[in-house]
Structure 1
Amino acid sequence: MNKEQILNTIKIKVEEKVHAFEKLIAETRASNNDTKSSMGDKYETGREMLQQEINNLQRQLNETLSQQAVLQKITSEPSLKVQNGALVKTDKGLFYVSVSVGEIIFNDQKIMTVSVESPLIKAMSGKTKDDQFMINTMLQTIEEIW
């Protein structure tokens, strides 16, 4: 498994999310400016709703920027135990411990990207190859760690 390529794929996905949020914020701000009018209170509610949407998008952008910062600290060095930056194969699937951006396809394999804060990673944190752990009453075995 080429962890460096997997990490780069995740970085690109997060970068695309950052650009998408920045674009949405700019478009929403532009539409907010369009509603400025001397028509009175009728437009104040609409402007407030747009401002709330901008605030929501800004919060999501900040979370995505935090994910980007976490990714900058991750190396593609081999891991012997489950930790940030580890690629873990269990009998139930393949997991990359980094940030949670969902499923990625790499070399025709599904890899779930999972945050160290997730219950799954907390259950397997620090474990090594052939160790078992329990999550949601399901016993899993760690088959390989890269």
Structure 2
Amino acid sequence: MNKQEILTLTKSKVTDKIRYFENLIAETRASNNDTKSSMGDKYETGREMLQQEINNLQRQLNEVLNQQEMLRKITADSSEKVQHGALVKTDKGLFYIAASIGEIVAENHKIMTVSIESPLVKAMFGKKIGDTFTINNINQNIEDIW
């Protein structure tokens, strides 16, 4: 498995999410400015709702920016145990321990990207090839680590 390709795909997906949230925030701010009017309180309520939406989007953007920062610290070096930046194959699937951004496809394999804080990673952290772990009463065997 080419970990550099997987890392690049993951970084690209995070960058796309950042652009998405930045654009959404800009559009929401523009619509907030469009509602300025001297027509009364109902417009103030609408503007407040838009401001709350902007705050929510900003919070989500900050989470993705934190993911991007975590990805900057990851290298494509191979791993001998489950750790941050490892690509782990279990009998249930492929997992890339980086940031929780969902599924990516590399080399015709579906890979689930997961955060180091996820319960799955906590259950397998530090394990090596051949080790087993249990999550949600399901046993998984570690078949390979890159």
Asked whether the two chains share a fold, i.e. TM above 0.5, the reply is yes
- How do 1:61-140 residues align onto structure 2 when only pairs under 5 Å count? 61-140=61-140
Deviation at 1:108, TM superposition (A): 1.1
Deviation at 1:60, TM superposition (A): 0.3
Q: Which secondary structure does the structure 1 equivalent of 2:78 belong to?
A: coil
State the 4+ residue runs in structure 1 displaced beyond 2 angstroms: none
Which residue of structure 2 lines up, in the alignment, with residue 24 of structure 1? 24
Instruction: Give CA-to-partner distance per residue, 1:4-34, whole Å, 9 cap, x none.
Output: 0100000000000000000000000000000
RMSD: 0.4
SS of residue matched to 1:18: helix
Give the match's secondary structure for 2:70.
Answer: helix
Partner secondary structure for residue 114 of structure 1: strand
The amino acid across from 1:78 in the alignment is: S
Q: CA deviation at 1:44?
A: 0.8
Deviations 1:42-78 (A, max 9, x none): 2011001000000000000000000000000000000
Q: Distance in 2 between matches of 1:142 and 1:107?
A: 20
1:55 pairs with 2:55: yes
Does residue 46 (structure 1) correspond to residue 46 (structure 2)? The answer is yes
What one-letter code is carried by the residue in structure 1 that aligns with 2:116? V
Unmatched 5+ residue regions in structure 2?
none
Three-state SS of the structure 2 residue aligned to 1:78 is: coil
Give the gaps of 5 or more residues in structure 1. none
Number of aligned residue pairs: give it. Answer: 146
Within 2, Cα distance between the matches of 1:82 and 1:117? 13
- Superposed CA deviations along residues 68-122 of structure 1, whole A, max 9, x for unmatched, are 0000000000000000000000000000000000011111110000000000000
Counterpart in the other structure of 2:10: 10
C-alpha distance in structure 2 between counterparts of 1:120 and 1:79, whole Å: 18
Letter of the 1:99 counterpart = A
Give the Cα–Cα distance (whole angstroms) in 2 for the partners of residues 60 and 88 of structure 1: 28
Aligned AA for 2:23?
K
- Percentage of matched positions with identical amino acids: 70
